[in-house]
């Protein structure tokens, strides 16, 4: 079964601390994974995708097929990073997405 698991509902850190939001997936085939972010009072938007292998707003995510993980990392959290983060899997490399339940990141000053 295709599934995305985000084990943490809430992650709280202080400004400047490292952040890792966990994402594990279950998928038969070659997965394509994404991180979406929703800031307060804003719409859901793409943060990054694994095929791009890019860093956006200081965030990176590496696909680990052995551990079936796609954790989102940032070395130094900023207050403006506070948001809801969703990991998502593309179904058969289409634009139909399976989302995890999301992790709320709170960055305290």
Which of 29, 40, 67, 94 lies at the binding interface for another protein (CB under 8 A)?
94
Nearer to another protein, 12 or 18 (CB): 12
Q: Is 83 in the site for another protein (CB under 8 A)?
A: no
Q: Is residue 11 a contact residue for another protein (CB under 8 A)?
A: no
Q: Pick from 1, 10, 29, 96 the residue near another protein by CB under 8 A.
A: 96
Assigned token pair, 101: 């339940």
> In whole angstroms, what is the distance from residue 86 CA to residue 61 CA?
13
Question: Which residues from 21-40 bind another protein, rule CB under 8 A?
Answer: 32
Burial state string for 13-24 with b = 16 or more CB within 10 A and e = fewer than 16: beeeeebebbbb
């Amino acid at each position: 079964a295709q599934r995305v698991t985000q084990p943490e509902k809430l992650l709280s850190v202080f400004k400047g601390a490292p952040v890792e939001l966990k994402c594990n997936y279950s998928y038969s085939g070659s997965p394509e994974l994404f991180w979406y972010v929703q800031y307060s009072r804003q719409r859901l938007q793409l943060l990054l995708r694994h095929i791009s292998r890019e860093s956006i707003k200081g965030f990176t995510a590496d696909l680990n097929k052995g551990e079936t993980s796609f954790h989102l990392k940032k070395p130094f959290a900023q207050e403006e990073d506070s948001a809801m983060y969703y990991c998502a899997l593309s179904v058969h490399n289409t634009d139909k997405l399976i989302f995890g339940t999301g992790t709320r990141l709170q960055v305290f000053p």
